[in-house]
Amino acid sequence: MKIFRDISLSKYNTFDFDYRANCLILPKTEDEAISLFRGEISWEKPLLIMGSGSNILFTSDFKSTILCPEIGGIKIEEQDQENVLISAGAGVNWDNLVEWTVNKGFGGLENLSLIPGLVGATPVQNIGAYGVEVKDTIEKVRAVSIEDGSITEFNNNDCRFEYRNSIFKGEVKGKYLVTRVYYKLTVNPLLNLNYGSLKEEVNKLGSLTLKNVRRAVINIRRRKLPDPEVIGNAGSFFKNPVVSSSAAEIIKKSYPQMTAYEDQSWGIKLAAGWLIDQCGWKGKRIGDAGVHDKQALVLVNHGKATGKEIYDLSEAIKKSVREKFGVELEREVEVVGTI
Ligand SMILES: Cc1cc2nc3c(=O)[nH]c(=O)nc-3n(C[C@H](O)[C@H](O)[C@H](O)COP(=O)(O)OP(=O)(O)OC[C@H]3O[C@@H](n4cnc5c(N)ncnc54)[C@H](O)[C@@H]3O)c2cc1C
**pLDDT value at residue 264:** 63
**Protein residue with its CA nearest to atom 53 in ligand 1:** 234
52, 110, 142, 164: the catalytic one is: 164
pLDDT at 216 over 90: yes
Q: Which atom of ligand 1 is nearest to the CA of 226?
A: 1
CA–centroid distance, 1 to ligand 1, in Å, is 23
Range ranked top by mean pLDDT from 46-55, 193-202, 241-250? 46-55
- 54 a catalytic residue: no
What is the arithmetic mean of pLDDT over 36-45?
93
What residue owns the CA closest to ligand 1's atom 17?
Answer: 116
pLDDT in tens, 84-120: 999 999 999 999 999 999 999 999 999 999 999 999 9
Whose alpha carbon is nearest atom 4 of ligand 1? 235
Q: Examine the residue annotation and report whether 8 is marked as an active-site residue of this protein.
A: no
The pLDDT of residue 161: 97
Rounded Cα distance between 339 and 47, Å, is 19
**Domains of the chain (ranges, CATH numbers):** 2-67 (3.30.43.10), 74-224 (3.30.465.10), 232-336 (3.90.78.10)
pLDDT digits (tens, 9 = 90+) for 141-168: 999 999 999 999 999 999 999 999 999 9
| Atom nearest to 176 CA in ligand 1 | 43
Per-chain mean pLDDT for the chain: 96
Percent of the chain predicted with pLDDT > 70: 99
How many angstroms separate the CA atoms of 130 and 124, rounded? 19
pLDDT over 90 at 267, yes or no: no
Query: What distance in angstroms lies between residue 75's CA and the mean position of ligand 1's atoms?
Result: 22
pLDDT at 327 over 80: yes
- Decide whether any atom of ligand 1 lies within 6 Å of the 120 Cβ: yes
Share of the chain above pLDDT 90, in %: 95
Q: Which of 236, 309, 314, 331 is catalytic?
A: 236
145 classed as catalytic? no
> Which atom of ligand 1 is nearest the CA belonging to 177?
42
Query: What is the model's pLDDT at position 307?
Result: 98
CB of 111 closer than 6 angstroms to any ligand 1 atom: no
Q: Is 54 in the pocket of ligand 1 (CB under 6 A)?
A: yes
